[in-house]
Structure 1
Amino acid sequence: MATIILFSFSLLVCAFASPLDPEVYAEPSSGVNWVIIVAGSNGWYNYRHQADACHAYQIVHKNGIPDERVVVMMYDDLAQNPQNPTPGIIINRPNGTDVYHGVVKDYTAEDVTPQNFLNILQGNAAAMSGIGSGKVIASGPNDHVFVNFVDHGAPGIVAFPAGGELHATDLNNAIQSMYQQQKYAKITLYFEACESGSMFENLLPSNINAFATTAANAEESSYACYFDAERETYLGDVYSVKWMEDSDVEDLTTWTLQQQFQIVKQETNTSHVMEYGDLSMGSLVVDEFQGSQNPSPKQKAKPYPRVPLDAVPAPDVPMAILQHRLTASKSTKERQGIVQEMSKLLELRSMVTDTVRKIVDLATDSSAQADRIVNTKKTKLQSHYCYKAVVRHFADNCFSLNTNDYPLRHLYVFVNMCEERVPVVRMTEAMDRVCGTQLAKFMKGIY
């Protein structure tokens, strides 16, 4: 881990902040806003994550938060992707406007890693020197910080396109460290991922001025939405588009965090939107985190028309895309090719399931214990050290977790084994035996 070198707050503000006209933009009382937006995936079928992130940038940019205090992490492989029918343009809803134009791309491709995210969030400028834009969240004791993360998730982790996974303990330790070092007055976190509630449940204290909302509870999927036939992919995620479309139309100078949470919770009827941390922060107005240009009623955006969300659970997105393509296919040859892709996807999923079952069988003491491990889910992860070690070994030796959602759905078995005190070495040895086969190596390379 890079050595953390502490700089004074005043020097960091000089490096990354710029003055604003107070008549145009109202800062939080006696402080300023900082924003970090992260899309943790790549690939065309994950289009929606980077589209969400770009839309989030447009909101805070429109609302006056300067680029000097906004950090965006995204792989940036969509705008010029060969599959993009509108090169240079990314949209976040059917027939939507371009959300890609003007987005600051501070960290792209292999720079989008969990360690870089933690360094940026905590203002570790030394660690980010020579990487991307070098910008960090150089916040101080009077400042407000807004964090928006969008990607795949599993119990206690969210994925990144490079450099591994972000574990809940590492994220919450970073937030608590920031609080102790007076690097914020208030911090709000909006997380979109499957089982995203597990990133904060029983971990985020209620007394450190931190408020988090998540797309799902600790045990369920989040949902993709807005399938686009021209692009043959999903354009957004239900929770994300709901909070952003709300921010687009409300007067954020009077609209509170709790009002936004409640309307997003009500309209996200596909999963359970959750809140954690200091719930008293719900009385704060949204503009204290997302900014506001104080629009007059004439300038205020019109409400979005109601469009069918066409929502599907995130793990089902690859198959749902193929099903849409099959329905729209125009020739027998094209249909045959799509059916073959669907069969291959089902075969790969079966391989993942079988591989995990073999690992459990080898690592546990009895068939009864193995059945219990596979067929139940623990509601609370406590053995974080064990879990972190086995997840990393699984990702390194069996299946990539960075861009594919399906292997993530099986990580609950490692939660179960860790909570039942199955030794780490027994689990990693089982992985080496099962995943060392030619079949598993083949799987790791293509799934």
Structure 2
Amino acid sequence: MANVLSMYRTVKRLGIPDSQIILMLSDDVSCNSRNLFPGAVFNNKDHMLDLYGESVEVDYRGYEVTVENFIRLLTDRWDEDHPKSKRLLTNENSNIFIYMTGHGGADFLKFQDAEEIASLDIANAFHQMYEKKRYNEIFFMIDTCQANTMYSKFYSPNILACGSSEFEESSYSHHSDVELGVAVIDRFTYYSLEFLENIKDKTSNLTMKDLFDYLTFDKVHSHTGVRTDLFKRNVSDVLITDFFGNVQEIIPDLSDSDGNNIKHGINDEEDYYIEKTVLDLAIEASGNSSDVLEENKTNTLVLKENDINKYLHNTIKSGHDAANSKGEGPITWWKTLASTTNGVIFTTLCFILYKFVIVTEPKN
């Protein structure tokens, strides 16, 4: 359990929100009566980091973790009333990271010690995903005995796979916790996490090849494997953050209500305002930057909230009136205003602006 919670913590640290993570835990170790630290799970004997904490969202737990549910999750074959929060809502532009761990053997992985999933089951599920355009690229990572056999049957394109041990080879734990009396984490996962901890932010240039090269026999005590023949890109060109982090390219919407590109043919003055953010325009509208900026005790310039709110109110009101005079609704005008702001600021303010426009729409 510490294996998967450690990986869960890492991808969250690198920016992937819970809304984009499906977490399946077959056993609730944190609440087990034999756990000497109730409500806590550790991946190291020093007990420095509680992996369970207060921000873990488990989507499938206990007897919900079955082979059937896992296959349904990948292929999205659910009843209509199945909660969206427990579905893998992806499309042809999605990069998917799948991490599996547990007891296994040649071409199988155990679920609940009662059933097994075979390598061909996963291969067929991935092919259904490919046919239904449910992914762009998949990175499959597995930590179990004879793990490399679990991706041997894959046949769908754009899948990169990595395993902890070869055929007829065991995977080993890293160390045991004498207080708990059990091994707390496996070597393959431990050193994968050690490498990933070197990534401090989402702008890292470390690649998947760097990760694979780091997982040597001296560290893992087994022969890790990588399968790249189905993957189109060279692993030395694939950034770690392509799968472990949430890096999004923000493209400003420069189209009008009819879908025409307003960037084409605009004059210099319009181009100037498109490149400005709402905050830039607020400062310039004051006529004097000293009216909008003030120095705090650390000599750092900060924006006066009242002046910014006043500018936003006047801007929104004038834009809203103009939209109504043209017979446009509030959403159309909000889209036009958003297209004149910087992408980062737009992301921060879009819900505020949208809500403000809807609330202040005049009654007929």
Give TM-score scaled by structure 1 length: 0.51
Does structure 2 conserve the Cα–Cα contact (< 8 Å) formed by 1:256 and 1:286? yes
How far apart, in 2, do the equivalents of 1:176 and 1:137 lie?
15
**Structure 2 counterpart of 1:256, which letter?**
T
Contact 2:139 2:243 (C-alpha < 8 Å) held by counterparts = yes
Q: 1:250-293, CA deviations, whole angstroms, 9 ceiling, x for partnerless residues?
A: 35631111110110235534111001143545121011111158
Displacement, 1:134? 5.4
Matched-pair contact (CA < 8 Å) for 1:143–1:183: yes
Q: CA RMSD in A?
A: 2.2
The correspondence for 1:113, drawn from 66, 69, 73, is 66
Separation (CA, whole Å) in 1 of partners of 2:110 and 2:67: 8
What amino acid sits opposite 1:264 in the alignment?
L
Distance in 2 between residues matched to 1:264 and 1:128, nearest whole Å: 43
Find out whether 1:59 has 2:10 as its counterpart: yes
* Pair member with larger Rg: 2
* Equivalent position SS for 1:103: coil
Give the aligned residue type for 2:63: E
- The aligned runs of 1:133-144 (5 Å cut-off) are 135-144=86-95
Structure 1 contact 168–198 (Cα < 8 Å) conserved: yes
> Residue 215 in 1 paired to residue 164 in 2?
yes
The answer on whether the counterparts of 2:143 and 2:189 sit within 8 Å (CA) in structure 1 is: yes
Are the aligned partners of 1:62 and 1:293 in contact in 2 as well (CA < 8 Å)?
Answer: no
- 2:68 counterpart SS class: helix
Cα-to-partner distance string for 1:5-52 (whole Å, 9 max, x where unaligned): xxxxxxxxxxxxxxxxxxxxxxxxxxxxxxxxxxxxxxxxxxxxx011
Q: Which residue of 1 aligns with 2:79?
A: 126
Aligned to 1:189: 140
The amino acid of 1:112's aligned partner reads V
Q: Does 1:100 align with 2:52?
A: yes
Distance in 2, matches of 1:175 and 1:196, equals: 17
Give the counterpart of 1:285 among 225, 239, 251.
Answer: 239
Q: Structure 1 residues 70 and 269, CA, compared in 2 at 3 Å: closer, same or farther?
A: closer
State the partner residue of 1:301.
none
* Corresponding position of 1:235: 184
Give, as a single letter, the amino acid of the residue that structure 2 aligns with 1:59.
T
* One of 141, 147, 153 as aligned partner of 2:104: 153
Name the residue aligned to 2:123.
Answer: 172
Letter in 2 for 1:284: V
Asked if residue 250 in structure 1 is aligned to residue 199 in structure 2, the reply is yes
Q: Hey, what does 2:345 align to over in structure 1?
A: none
Q: Select the structure that is richer in helix.
A: 1
8 Å CA contact 2:191–2:220 kept in 1: the answer is no
Contact 1:214 1:274 in 2 (8 A): yes
- Give the secondary structure class of the aligned counterpart of 1:71: coil
Counterpart contact for 1:125–1:135, Cα < 8 Å: no
Give how far 1:163 is off: 5.6
Q: 1:158 offset after TM fit, Å?
A: 0.4
TM-score by length of 2: 0.62
Cα distance in 2 for partners of 1:128, 1:62 equals 32
* Unaligned stretches of 5+ residues in structure 2: 249-364
Name the structure 1 match of 2:19.
Answer: 68
Instruction: Note if contact 2:19-2:85 (Cα within 8 Å) is conserved in structure 1.
Output: no
Task: Assess, with a 3 A threshold, how the Cα gap between structure 1 residues 79 and 142 changes in structure 2: closer, same or farther.
Answer: same
CA displacement, residues 56-97 of structure 1 (integer Å, 9 cap, x when unaligned): 111111111111110010024211222222111101112130
Which is further off, 144-153 or 120-129? 120-129
- Paired AA for residue 243 in structure 1: S
**Alignment identity in percent?**
24
For 2:211 and 2:220, locate their aligned partners in 1 and report how far apart those are by CA, in whole Å: 15
Deviation at 1:233, TM superposition (A): 0.6
8 Å CA contact retained: 2:120, 2:154: no
Are the aligned partners of 1:159 and 1:166 in contact in 2 as well (CA < 8 Å)?
yes
Cα deviation, residue 122, structure 1: 2.1
Unaligned runs of 5+ in 1: 1-49, 295-447
Task: Confirm or deny that 1:85 pairs with 2:39.
Answer: no
Residues 92 and 99, structure 1, Cα contact 8 Å, conserved in 2? yes
Provide the C-alpha distance between the structure 2 equivalents of 1:268 and 1:121, rounded to a whole number of angstroms: 32
- CA–CA distance in 1 between the matches of 2:85 and 2:77? 10
Contact 2:217 2:223 in 1 (8 A): no
Asked which structure has the greater RCO (Cα within 8 Å, sep 6+), the reply is 1
Preserved CA contact (<8 Å) 1:128 1:135 = no
Alignment of 1:325-344 (within 5 A): none
Look up the SS of the partner of 2:9 in the other structure. Answer: helix
Distance 1:108 1:225, change over 3 A: same
SS in 1 for 2:31: coil
Tell me the number of residue pairs that the alignment of Structure 1 and Structure 2 aligns: 241
Match of 1:352?
none
> Which deviates more, 72-81 or 273-282?
273-282
Distance 2:125 2:118 in 1: 11
Per the alignment, do residues 89 and 156 of structure 1 end up closer, same or farther by CA in structure 2, a change over 3 Å counting?
same
1:336-375 superposed matches below 5 A = none
Match of 1:200 in 2: 151
SS at match of 1:82: coil
